[in-house]
Structures are given as C-alpha cells and as structure tokens.
Amino acid sequence: MLALSVASASLPVVGKHLEPFGAMAAMGVWGFRHLPEFVTASAKSWVAPGNGDLRKAEREQTTAAAQAGLRGVVPATDLAIDWPAPDSMPPLWHTMEYRRDVYRTSVRYGDDPAQLLDVWRPENLPAQPAPVLLFVPGGAWVHGGRMLQGYALLSHLARQGWVCLSIDYRVAPHHRWPQHLSDVKAAIAWARANVDKFGGDRHFVAVAGCSAGGHLAALAGLTPNQPDLQGDLPDGSDTSVDAVIGIYGRYDWEDRSTEERARFVDFLERVVVGRTIDRHPEIYRQASPIAQVHPDAPPFLVVHGTGDSVIPVAQARSFVDRLKAVSRSAVGYIELPGAGHAFDMTDGARTGAMSTAIGLFLNHIHRNRAIDHTKAVI
C-alpha cells in the first residue's frame, strides 16, 4: 500500500491530491509498530490497583519537577513565582482561546505549497524587536502539520511578548529524509531574514519541537549552516539558532539495542529514509542529534515524561547526559513523573507548568544574550 501510494502521487495532475493516502499508509505502518505497546501501557496504567492514587501523586509533582530541572540553569529568583494551578480540562479544550493569539496565518516561508507558518504574537508589541521562537510540530516524520500542536506554549509566550512561528513541513513517504530538516532550516533562514516584518528580532531565534519535531529542532540546533543539510537555500543563509527546546523528542536514529528501538529503525528504513542503516550508516548517524553534540551547541532544555511508551524516557536521559558532558552552554532537563507522549495536548495538570518553565528558560537565555550583546558594543 505504501509503495502504491507513493507511485500514484507521482502521476500528473491528480498526483498531488493523492499524497494524503501515502501519509495515511505511512502512519498505519507506524501505528502497527507502536499502537499495541501504547494501548497495553495505557490499560495497565488505568486498571492496575492503586494507580489512580499514583497518577494523582505524579501530577502533583509537576511544579517541583519543573523547578528541579531549571535549578542551576535559571536564577532562583525567577523560579520563586506563583506557578499555574493544574487544569482539570485537557489543553485541546482551550483551542479557540489559544487561537486568539494567532496574528497571521499561512505565511509562506518557501516556494512549496507545504512551506507555511502561522505567526503568534500580541496585537501590540514594545518598540524594541521581540524574541522569536520557531515551533516544529511532531507526527512521526509522516505528518508535519501545525494545527493543534504547541498551542498552550505558543499562546503563553505570545502573551509574554514573544513572536512565535509555527510551521508546516514536507514529510515522508513522498518527501524522503532529509527534506524534513531542510524545510525546518528554510523556516529558520526565513525568520533570520524576515521576522522583523512581524516585530520579531532577527538576532534572537530559538527553536522548539515535540516528538519528531523535537528531533528536528535538536538536529537543526546542532547543525547550523551545515552545507549538506541546507537544501536549496541560497549561499549565506543563516540557519543557526540561539536556544533549543526538545519536548518528548527522539534523539537517536542508530541504536537498535532494544526491541522498541529496532522497530523504530525498521520504520525509518521503510518509510522515512528509504535506505537501510546497514548500507548507509552515515545517513542515520548524521540524523541522530546525540551523535551531533559538540562544545558549541546552543543552550538546550529537554522535557520528557517517565510514562512515555512511544519514546521511552531513557532516550532523553542519554541525550542530556551527552549534552552536559560536551556542551559549553546551559543544559536543562525536566523529567515529569508519569507523563506520557503528547501530554501537552491531553494533560492540563502538566501543560501550564511546562509552558511556564519553558518561558522562564527562554527569557533567561534571551536576557543573557542581550547582556552579552551590550557588553560587546561597549
């Protein structure tokens, strides 16, 4: 089905309209590999005796976990605030409220029809340019749509005076790797060159992402201006970023040490990359953020839940350990007890605190960058 859908999408005139069937087939392959484990883990969580009390206790630890993850990275005075109370409703319930902070929709950042972004910002900005966050949605590299993803975070930052850009990007199976990353870099380059038209500061652009978007955000942050990953961007395009936020991301494309990781690499081979890791190990190494960590990496904040059955928390821990051992920049890590995949769309008890924590981290990095710039000018 996957091969037929890809072939049919290349037909003239009608091919473009058949691309969604390829994405559906690809998502089916992903679901076949991950859904049974996800359902089993969820059922155990809800049915096992005493788990209701455990889930409640884990949610109550959210603010403490956020503060612990930022301690030593963000000043203690920044953490001494009134943190948001848990919300009994899932964040998706507040979609229309969040959408009020969208300033402009479907702005083109490239020539392809899929290269679109939404601009989130307050109606009135201060006179000085606002810091910028570019958000990369998830979707297992076969879905790259900006709808519904990251809304709580984008709304929170927009109300704090940030300009946020939420992007669409091209996905497998019709667009093989590294087209996903090339599109993210094209959006960063667009922001560096054009975000001032929306009140943003071209000299401070951070990137964040969830799940597959977390992988893309981390890899973009670690490979600035790398020629073989710039796609069709003109020479001199700036794809560097000033900070990275990875939220339940996948950071290793090489490791096949567990059954879950072996299934994941098989999915990459069949659907996303179209080449095997045994014959093309260099592709998978170059696509692994954990293998691209270097001393000049930008500041990182990684957020992951211990209850994630799609991307186990061990992957985040390994990535953070590697960052802390090598990078000269700040590295924060927030591990949320019991939180599952996509908690920021489904779990109101955690989402407010996470948006607040990410805002504190980004505001701190932005302040430090402004201070460094002032010193350099003087």
pLDDT digits 0-9 by tens, 183-200: 999 999 999 999 999 999
Of 201, 308, 344, 347, which one is the catalytic site residue?
308
Residue 98 in any domain: the answer is: yes
Q: Rounded CA gap, 224 and 308, in Å?
A: 29
Asked if 136 and 167 touch (Cβ cutoff 8 Å), the reply is yes
Q: What is the pLDDT of residues 63-77, one digit of tens each?
A: 999 999 999 999 999
- Output the pLDDT for position 125: 84
Q: Which of 5, 155, 166, 211 is catalytic?
A: 211
- Between strands 116-120 and 102-108, the pairing is antiparallel
The set of residues, in sequence order, having a beta carbon less than 8 Å from that of 185 and lying 6+ positions away, is 220, 229, 230, 231, 233, 237, 239
Task: Report whether 92 contacts 82 (CB < 8 A).
Answer: no
Give how many domains the chain has, as a whole number: 1
Residue 277: pLDDT above 80?
yes
Active site annotation includes 341:
yes
Residue 35 within a domain: no
Place of tokens 């507040």: 94
Q: Is residue 217 part of a domain?
A: yes
Ramachandran angles phi, psi of 213, nearest 5°: -65, -30
Q: What pLDDT is stored for residue 48 in this prediction? A: 53
Tens-digit pLDDT profile for residues 95-147: 999 999 999 999 999 999 999 999 999 988 878 999 999 999 999 999 999 99
* Residue 35: band (very low, low, confident or very high) from pLDDT cuts 50, 70, 90: low
Task: Indicate whether 87 pLDDT > 80.
Answer: yes
Say how many CA atoms lie within 13 Å of 219 toward its Cβ.
32
pLDDT above 70 coverage of the chain, percent:
85
Per the annotation, the verdict on 143 as an active-site residue is no
The letter for the amino acid at 102 is V
Q: How far is CA 283 from CA 155, 276, 288, in A?
A: 36, 9, 9
Q: Active site residue: 341, 347, 355, 366, which one? A: 341
Select the more confidently predicted residue: 327 or 126. Answer: 327
Evaluate if residue 37 carries a pLDDT over 90: no
In a domain, 3, yes or no: no
- Residue 29 in domain: no
pLDDT at position 50: 57
CA distance 57 to 306: 14
Average pLDDT, integer, range 303-331: 97
Residue 147, helix vs strand vs coil: coil
Domain range for 327: 50-252+288-377
The predicted-structure confidence for 216-267, as pLDDT tens digits, reads as follows: 999 999 999 999 999 999 999 999 999 999 999 999 999 999 999 999 999 9
Q: What is the pLDDT of residues 146-205, one digit of tens each?
A: 999 999 999 999 999 999 999 999 999 999 999 999 999 999 999 999 999 999 999 999
> Is residue 252 annotated as part of the catalytic site, yes or no?
no
User: 40 in a domain, yes or no?
Assistant: no
Please tell me the distance from the alpha carbon of residue 37 to that of residue 310, in angstroms, as a whole number: 8
Domain presence at residue 19: no
Answer yes or no: is 264 within a domain: no
Q: What CATH number has the domain bearing residue 56?
A: 3.40.50.1820
Q: Read off the tokens for 28.
A: 């089916």
Distance of CA 375 to the CA centre of its chain: 32
